[in-house]
Amino acid sequence: MGISRATLADAHRLSALAIETFPLACPPGTTAENIELFCTEKLSPEAFEAYMSEGRYRIWIAEENGSLHGYVMSVSGEPEDPDIAGAVVHRPTVEVSKIYVLTDAHGSGLSDLLMDTAVDNARTGGAASVWLGVNQLNDRANRFYAKHGFELVGERSFQVGDSLEADFVREKVL
């Protein structure tokens, strides 16, 4: 499995992977309509092209035999949400905004490789911490982040379609 930085040429297959894996992170009550709204707005090929055309977004993909198995996206800069800016203590900080791996590769170590890539890049760039938001009901992801040293520092609301979901905010000091 190779990890590499995504380029504009990856936007379509990245979008397909993101749309396939996004429902895995949603709590059981999330409606299909709200998932579709989120995917259309935030995970389309055009959305990924827009992320990649801005310097503060970085995306890495995990690829084997021409197929994508997972991706991670980080965003540098001051958190815009005041709940997050208040909860995250250290500056400068980088958000690990998305980490999604196909079900078959869960528990394989691939997620660790992707996380380490994003965290190492933030550290090299001078970040004092990395932070993320995670649904409070996503037990597997919360366990994974705790294993990676992300401590609970607060809560925020996260919009999926017309629904506001309850997230934990976690920070890892570098």
Interface residue with ligand COA among 3, 24, 75, 89 (CB under 6 A) is 24
For ligand COA, give the closer residue by CB, 41 or 112. 112
Amino acid at 84: I
For ligand COA, give the closer residue by CB, 87 or 134. 134
Residues 128, 90: contact at Cβ < 8 Å? yes
How far apart, in Å, do the first and last CA atoms of the chain sit? Answer: 26
Report if residue 116 touches ligand COA, rule: CB under 6 A.
Answer: no
Minimum distance from residue 111 beta carbon to ligand COA (Å): 3
Interface residue with ligand COA among 117, 129, 138, 163 (CB under 6 A) is 138
Report if residue 30 touches ligand COA, rule: CB under 6 A.
Answer: no
For ligand COA, give the closer residue by CB, 51 or 144. 144
For ligand COA, give the closer residue by CB, 129 or 145. 145
Give 41-97 as a DSSP string: HHSSHHHHHHHHTSTTEEEEEEEETTEEEEEEEEEES--SSHHHHHH--SSSEEEEE
Smallest Cα–Cα separation from 144: which of 115, 164, 169, 103?
115
Report if residue 141 touches ligand COA, rule: CB under 6 A.
Answer: yes
Report if residue 157 touches ligand COA, rule: CB under 6 A.
Answer: no
Q: Which residues, in sequence order, are CB contacts of 158 under 8 Å at separation 6+?
A: 133, 135, 164, 165, 166, 167
Interface residue with ligand COA among 30, 74, 93, 111 (CB under 6 A) is 111
- Return the half-sphere exposure (C-beta side, CA atoms, 13 A cut-off) of residue 127: 27
| Residues 42-61 within binding reach of ligand COA (CB under 6 A) | none
